[in-house]
A = this chain, B = another copy of it.
Amino acid sequence: MKSVNLMEKKTMTEKTTEKITTEVKEEKRTDENVIYVGHKPPMSYVLAVVTQFNTSGSDEVVIKARGRSISTAVDTAEITRNRFITDAKIKDIKIGTESITNEEGRTSNVSSIEIILTTKKKNKQVEQ
């Protein structure tokens, strides 16, 4: 039994380290626990969020998106919460507006969203 467990562990760790290197490179911009959602299918970002929760031991992951990707960000949060990390709660959702300057020097406004997922056990006072 022990040897089997060890083998399993070994393969598990190997897999996870691989994931870390690929995902962190892509997503590590300002903060480690921020996932920026773009134009890929939602499942790519779900994988990134799940990896963030599981490997780096974060109890909080922030999903950020702008413009059309906002709906993908919501999909990402919902898929993560419903299928993969069922004890994750939505701590907060913020929306805002960012000004973007394009190559011609024109500024345009774009909406943004920030979804904060947490697996933290909340204050017991609140749970009552």
B95 lies within 8 A of A74 (CB) = yes
CB of A97 within 8 A of chain B? yes
A115 lies within 8 A of B95 (CB) = yes
5 examples of A-B residue contacts, CB within 8 angstroms: A68-B68, A70-B70, A70-B71, A78-B95, A78-B97
- Tell me, in angstroms, the Cα distance from A55 to B109 when the chains sit together: 28
CB of A24 within 8 A of chain B? no
Closest to A70 in B: B71
Within 8 A of B (CB), among A43-82: 67-71, 74-75, 77-78, 82
- Tell me, in angstroms, the Cα distance from A67 to B72 when the chains sit together: 9
Chain B residues with CB under 8 Å of A95's CB are: 74, 77-78, 90, 93, 115
